[in-house]
Amino acid sequence: MPRSSKKVSSVIGEAAAPTIAELSAQPQVDFELDFLGRILERHPRFVEALRCHASNLSAKKRIAESLMVERRIIQLRPTDALAHYNLACSHALLRQPDQALASLRKALELGYHDFRFILQDRDLDTLRTDPRFRKLLREFDRR
């Protein structure tokens, strides 16, 4: 007679798997956070999963956690311009302008040049009145 998954889970110390009904009731972002979290427990260097996880954390306004994931991506891929750009966004959302501008500079140095998106990205709104922001964009727009 097979044992139920709940009994097996409790024996090995894992949480019981959610039912289909519980999964269907979750918002998509919550499902993805749980799903990607489980994948990342097993494969912590899976950069694309880390990227999605950081984006979902940010969507849930869990910016400090998203920032930690972005830092992990940069550890794995230090020359990834998009990772530095996303880190800049997280710093800006946390109202850390010095770190945001340093990360944005690094992203631009590494080749992130979607100036149209930078100018409309709401994540960077806290930087728009900072003269260093405009100066930085002018410096790289000329290149």
Q: Classify residue 107: in a domain, yes or no.
A: yes
Q: Classify residue 121: in a domain, yes or no.
A: yes
Q: Classify residue 11: in a domain, yes or no.
A: no
Q: From the DSSP assignment, how many helices (H) and strands (E) are in the chain?
A: 9, 0
- Residue 31, domain extent: 17-141
Q: Classify residue 4: in a domain, yes or no.
A: no
Statement: residue 10 has pLDDT above 60: no
Statement: residue 12 has pLDDT above 80: no
Name the pLDDT band for 22 (thresholds 50, 70, 90): confident
Name the pLDDT band for 140 (thresholds 50, 70, 90): very high
* Distance from C-alpha of 95 to C-alpha of 72, rounded to nearest angstrom: 20
Residue identified by tokens 């984006």 is: 55
Q: Classify residue 115: in a domain, yes or no.
A: yes
* Distance from C-alpha of 88 to C-alpha of 70, rounded to nearest angstrom: 10
Query: What pTM was estimated for this model as a whole?
Result: 0.79
For the domain that residue 117 is a member of, what is the CATH number? 1.25.40.10
How many domains is the chain partitioned into structurally?
Answer: 1
